[in-house]
């Protein structure tokens, strides 16, 4: 009986999705791990392309009402990678912020 009560007490409600958080720019879906939550590839500045190439970083445009998927690493910056292949970003580009 105690085990059943403990399971009922610790189980999250069925409507609760802990992999999604709400930020000022919109919702972000990450990954749930046994001890943490991961949010990968979340942009922190506007892409430095076109007229913004050599300008200071600009603000990120909100993605709301859509939910941003942050379940995989973003694009890596263009540079030589001397690490083992598995440690180098699989995709590179100028939009790496």
Instruction: Quote the domain boundaries for residue 83.
Output: 1-97
In which band, very low, low, confident or very high, does the pLDDT at 49 lie, cut at 50, 70 and 90? confident
Burial degree of 68 (CB within 10 A; 0-12, 13-18, 19+): buried
Q: Cα–Cα distance between 3 and 11 in angstroms, integer?
A: 12
Total tally of structural domains belonging to the chain: 1
In which band, very low, low, confident or very high, does the pLDDT at 9 lie, cut at 50, 70 and 90? very low
| pLDDT score for 15 | 53
- Contacts of residues 91-97 at CB distance under 8 Å and 24 or more positions apart, as own/partner, are 94/47, 94/48, 94/49, 94/53, 95/47, 95/48, 95/49, 97/43, 97/44, 97/45, 97/46, 97/47, 97/48, 97/57
Res. 25: pLDDT tops 90:
yes
Calculate ∠ Cα 46-51-57, nearest 5°: 30
In which band, very low, low, confident or very high, does the pLDDT at 4 lie, cut at 50, 70 and 90? very low
Q: Cα–Cα distance between 53 and 93 in angstroms, integer?
A: 13
Over residues 50-67, the mean pLDDT reads 90
């Amino acid at each position: 009986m105690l085990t059943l009560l403990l399971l009922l007490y610790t189980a999250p409600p069925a409507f609760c999705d802990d992999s999604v958080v709400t930020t000022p720019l919109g919702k972000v879906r990450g990954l749930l791990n046994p001890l943490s939550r991961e949010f990968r590839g979340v942009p922190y500045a506007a892409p430095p392309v076109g007229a913004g190439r050599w300008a200071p970083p600009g603000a990120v445009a909100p993605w709301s009402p859509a939910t941003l998927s942050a379940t995989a690493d973003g694009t890596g910056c263009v540079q030589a990678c001397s690490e083992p292949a598995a440690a180098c970003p699989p995709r590179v580009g100028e939009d790496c912020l």
